[in-house]
Every structure is written in C-alpha cells, then in structure tokens.
C-alpha cells in the first residue's frame, strides 16, 4: 500500500466507523437487536466501500460529512448481505473475519432480523441527510435500491447459488460478479460523484473505473482462495476448489486469471485518465486491490 493511501485510510477510517456505529446506536430499538446489528458492523472488514465514497468526494474537494453517512449506508447493506449469506440455509459459515458469525452468537432468527433492519436503516439514513438536496437524496436512494436489490446484489447472490449447481462460462461468471459484488462497489463510487456534483463525463469515467475495479477485486479474491493461507484471509482458504466452484482460476488457469486481473487494473487506470483532477488516491486503491493479501 502506498504511503498516500495509507495516510488517507488512517485519516478517514475512524470517522467512517464512528459515523457508522453512531447511526445505529442512536436508534430506539430493542437492545438485543441493536447489539446484534452492531456486532456484525464492528466485526472488522476493510471498509472499502465507504472509503471509496470518501475518496471520490475528496477527488472533487468535497469535504462534507455526508460522504461518511453515505459510506455508512453502504456498509450497512454490505454487512446485512454478509449476515444473511452466512446463514445455515445459504453458505452456512461459522466464522467471518475470524469471529463467530452473527447467527452463531445471536441465533438464526435474530440474525435474519438484524440483517433486515440494517437493510431498511440504510435507506432511512440516506433520507435523513438534511444537508443534501432532496433531489440528490432521491437519486442516491434510487441507485442504492437498484444496486442492492433484485437487479443488483440480491440478484447476483441468486445467480451465484444457482451457479454452484453447474459450471459457468466466463460471461456468466462475470455477470454474477457484476451483480453480486460489483453493483454495490459501483454505487459507492457513483454516490461520491452524485454528492460532489460531478459532470456527466466525470461520472461516466468513474463508473467505468468502478466496473474494472469490481471485477479485479473478485478475481483477486478467487486467486487468494488458491494462493493465500486461512490465517491471512481470516476465512477458510481453498474453499472454492473444494466445492468445485466456478472461479476465474478454474476457468482461465491461475496464470490466465492473473493476466485478466492486470487487464482490468490497466483499464481502471485508463478510465481515470479522462478526469482532469488528482486521481492518485483512486489509482493507489486500484493497485492495492490488485496486490492485497486478504
């Protein structure tokens, strides 16, 4: 990780997490429900999605606090999707980031409801950003609803489960990832553009960047499942191979997957070149995603 990116994360991560936790702590709800919601929010994670919202805002010299609020809304969606994905009827995972999954601690019923509540809360959080125009709030809510729902993340999850039953080809695999993980990453980056009043051309370039970063992120995930250790990953390594899951290395070989990863990395950088601003943090982010070990 470059020094610049490191500094950016050191500066912004505490503000993101403080905003995220306070948005949940201040609601009036049964204690056990709040505790279960906060348990998964506080279980760590790289906070890549909120960091992207903030990074795009900073690209436009937009320092408004709402970048952290939008980032928190995205992290709530991401976290609810992990809670539900880990349920016995889905991936049946006992550990997440080295800690017991939500349903192992709170039971399946409360885990399901904590996920539901985080999903719902994210939209309320966006609606209540009084310093953002009602039009921009509506645009963000509309984009998040599409990115997180049947047309995005949830639809991708359905395709992913379906794909476990058969071999996917490369276009099918890309389609899964563009929806399952790409849609929310794209939202994070596009939301920064909406909050900052980016031009149509700038927004288009950022969406293009998001597309390639999203796929690069997933390819590296697949590669790490093969070359990483469980300790580094905080989850069981080698799970994809064991379950004969369709992955980039399985379809392209490990070398082919690394080549594909580099292609998307280069295309992400190229997209940024059309933006006449200091995009170094976004470039550093792209590099980090390609070289990360967990």
| Structural contact between residues 69 and 76, judged by C-beta atoms closer than 8 angstroms | no
| Both structure tokens of 151 | 């047309």
Q: Which of residues 82-141 bind a second copy (CB under 8 A)?
A: 84, 87, 89-90, 107-110, 112-113, 115-117, 119-121, 123-124, 126-128, 133-135, 137-138, 141
As a whole number of Å, the end-to-end CA separation of the chain is 13
Comparison of 103 and 258: residue with beta carbon closer to a second copy: 103
User: For a second copy, how many residues bind (rule: CB under 8 A)?
Assistant: 51
Regarding 193 and contact with a second copy (CB under 8 A), the answer is: no
> Which residue, 94 or 278, is less far from a second copy as judged by CB?
94
Tracing tokens 């470059």 back to the chain, one arrives at 2
Backbone angles phi, psi at 53, to 5 degrees: -55, -50
Contact between 286 and a second copy per CB under 8 A? no
Question: CA torsion angle for 56, 59, 65, 71 (degrees, to 10)?
Answer: 10
Q: At 95, is the secondary structure helix, strand, or coil?
A: strand
Is the Cβ–Cβ distance between 274 and 205 less than 8 Å?
yes
| Complex with a second copy: residue 7 or 120, whichever CB lies closer | 120
Structure tokens belonging to residue 3: 């020094």
In the complex with a second copy, the residue whose CB is nearer, 90 or 227, is 90
- Give the footprint of a second copy on this chain (CB under 8 A): 27-30, 32-34, 37, 80, 84, 87, 89-90, 107-110, 112-113, 115-117, 119-121, 123-124, 126-128, 133-135, 137-138, 141-142, 144-146, 148-151, 154-155, 157-159, 161-162
């Amino acid at each position: 990780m470059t020094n610049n990116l490191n500094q950016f994360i050191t500066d912004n991560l505490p503000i993101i997490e403080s905003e995220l936790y306070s948005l949940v702590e201040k609601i009036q709800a049964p204690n056990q429900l709040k505790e279960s919601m906060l348990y998964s929010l506080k279980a760590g994670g790289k906070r890549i999605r909120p960091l992207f919202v903030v990074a795009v805002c900073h690209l436009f010299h937009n320092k408004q606090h709402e970048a952290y609020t939008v980032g928190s809304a995205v992290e709530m969606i991401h976290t609810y999707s992990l809670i539900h994905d880990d349920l016995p009827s889905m991936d049946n995972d006992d550990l997440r980031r080295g800690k017991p999954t939500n349903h192992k601690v709170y039971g399946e019923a409360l885990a399901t409801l904590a996920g539901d509540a985080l999903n719902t809360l994210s939209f309320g959080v966006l609606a209540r950003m009084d310093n953002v125009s009602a039009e921009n709030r509506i645009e963000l809510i509309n984009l998040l609803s599409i990115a997180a729902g049947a047309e995005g993340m949830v639809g991708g999850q359905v395709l992913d489960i379906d794909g476990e039953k058969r071999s996917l080809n490369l276009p099918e695999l890309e389609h899964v990832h563009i929806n399952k993980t790409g849609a929310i990453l794209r939202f994070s980056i596009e939301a920064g553009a909406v909050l900052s009043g980016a031009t149509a051309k700038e927004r288009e370039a950022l969406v293009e960047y998001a597309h390639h970063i999203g796929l690069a992120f997933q390819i590296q995930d697949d590669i790490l499942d093969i070359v990483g250790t469980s300790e580094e990953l905080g989850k069981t390594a080698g799970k994809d191979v064991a379950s004969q899951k369709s992955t980039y290395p399985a379809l392209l070989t490990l070398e082919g997957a690394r080549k594909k990863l580099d292609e998307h990395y280069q295309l992400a950088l190229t997209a940024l070149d059309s933006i006449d601003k200091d995009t170094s943090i976004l470039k550093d982010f792209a590099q980090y995603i390609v070289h990360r070990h967990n």
